[in-house]
Amino acid sequence: MRDLLVALRERGIQPTAQRLAVAQFVLEAKSHPTADEVWEKVRKRSPTLSRATVYNTLNLFVEKGLLRTQLVREGALVFDPYVARHHHFIDDETGEIYDVPWEAVKVSGEKSLRGYEVRDYQVVMRGKRRAP
Amino acid sequence: MRDLLVALRERGIQPTAQRLAVAQFVLEAKSHPTADEVWEKVRKRSPTLSRATVYNTLNLFVEKGLLRTQLVREGALVFDPYVARHHHFIDDETGEIYDVPWEAVKVSGEKSLRGYEVRDYQVVMRGKRRAP
DNA sequence: GTTCGTGCAAACGGTTTGCAACAAT
DNA sequence: ATTGTTGCAAACCGTTTGCACGAAC
């Protein structure tokens, strides 16, 4: 609660009720919701919240580095509160997206690619989730 | 031309004029066009071609393994005639998508990820293209 | 009293669907 | 005659935009 306020202020985001509600949901979401999913969820607590505000807010958060978007779901962007580098695993059956820690997978050779100057990369894996 | 016909037949796709036109464009495209881009390009040669037919055709081609889709562009799927495993590089400035051969980049550790059974993966890189 | 944020509806862009006309077997 | 293919328009879904109202410095 208090830390959310601080987190927004730290990034120069004026903390309004709507933004706090969105932040509360999306920053501690372990899932990777789309904007519409955020809207539907947060609307239950704040019924006056408009779709436009959710989109505006999410875009603002991305701009300010609080979230990043991922292009791993068809048809929609998903928002990820895990802004540090990491990889993704997508469950074939459910479409669920999981974060994979950066150190869990190693990539090599990307620095010596002729013709490309790689600034950033990620591994996108697909398969079946199984009990750990 | 002849080989296109064969390629379609081999995969059980009835080769119509529209499908051949789409196949001709998309199978030898070095770019990664969206469905709408395919429509616009192919329409110049076959002006009667409808949007729905292009979408139907592309989906059919994907289903039959002639193309694969890639989720690397915002707002739209792109179609890739390179169906073998490979990686992607996306130019930050232009948004252009380049294919990176499978052997150019090596990934390790994905087999020993606890909790995930990785069936497939790819590395998506972003950065600046430079003269090779 | 301006500036900034919100809400609503309309617009938009990519894609799918329903359906009637039309081949092709 | 049945089946598969096409074209058109409408519908759909995710997202953005225009604009008027309202809140906050």
- As separate numbers, helices (DSSP H) first and strands (DSSP E) second, chain A gives 4, 6
Positions on chain C within 7 A of a protein C-beta: 4-9, 13-18
Name A residues 33-72 whose Cβ lies under 7 Å from strand C.
46, 48-53, 56-57
pLDDT of residue A21: 96
pLDDT tens digit sequence for B8-60: 999 999 999 999 999 999 998 778 999 999 999 999 999 899 999 999 999 99
- Phi, psi (deg, nearest 5) at residue B88: -135, 145
Nearest nt (C1') from B78 Cα = C14
Query: Which of B61, B49, B53 has the alpha carbon at shortest distance from B11?
Result: B61
Residue B1 pLDDT grade (very low, low, confident, very high; cuts 50, 70, 90): low
pLDDT surpassing 80 at residue B131: no
Residue B128 pLDDT grade (very low, low, confident, very high; cuts 50, 70, 90): very high
Judge: A125–B117 Cβ closer than 8 Å, yes or no.
Answer: no
List chain A pLDDT tens, one digit each, 132 residues.
558 899 999 999 999 999 999 999 999 877 899 999 999 999 999 999 999 999 999 999 999 999 999 998 888 999 999 999 999 999 988 889 999 999 999 999 999 999 999 999 999 999 999 877
C-alpha to C-alpha distance for A124 and A72, rounded to whole angstroms:
8
Mean pLDDT of all residues belonging to chain B: 92
One DSSP character per residue, A59-120 reads HHHHHTTS-EEE--STTS-EEES--SSEEEEEETTT--EEEEEGGGSEEESGGG-TTEEEEE
Nearest chain A alpha carbon to B99: A116
Nearest nt (C1') from A51 Cα = C7
For A43, A107, B89, B94, B118, the CA distances from A86, given in Å and listed in that order, are 30, 12, 17, 24, 16
Chain B contact set for A121 (CB, 8 A) = 123-126
CB B90 within 8 A of CB A98: no
Strands lying side by side in the sheet with A97-101: A97-101, A86-91, A116-129, B116-129, B86-91, B97-101
A51-82: buried (b, 16+ CB within 10 Å) or exposed (e) per residue? eebbeebbebbbeeebbbbbbbbeeebbbbbe
**Token digits for A81?**
């509160």
Judge: A106–B104 Cβ closer than 8 Å, yes or no.
Answer: no
Is the Cβ of A127 closer than 8 Å to some Cβ of chain B?
Answer: yes
Residue B94 pLDDT grade (very low, low, confident, very high; cuts 50, 70, 90): confident
Q: With a 7 Å cutoff on the CB, does B52 touch strand C?
A: yes
C-alpha to C-alpha distance for B122 and A8, rounded to whole angstroms:
34
Distance from CA of B2 to the nearest CA of A (A): 35
C-alpha to C-alpha distance for A71 and A94, rounded to whole angstroms:
17
Chain B contact set for A122 (CB, 8 A) = 123-124
Best mutation target among B72, B112, B113, B129 (most A Cβ atoms within 10 Å) is B113
Q: What is this structure's pTM?
A: 0.88
For A35, A102, A109, B120, the CA distances from A112, given in Å and listed in that order, are 37, 20, 6, 23
Nearest chain B alpha carbon to A69: B74
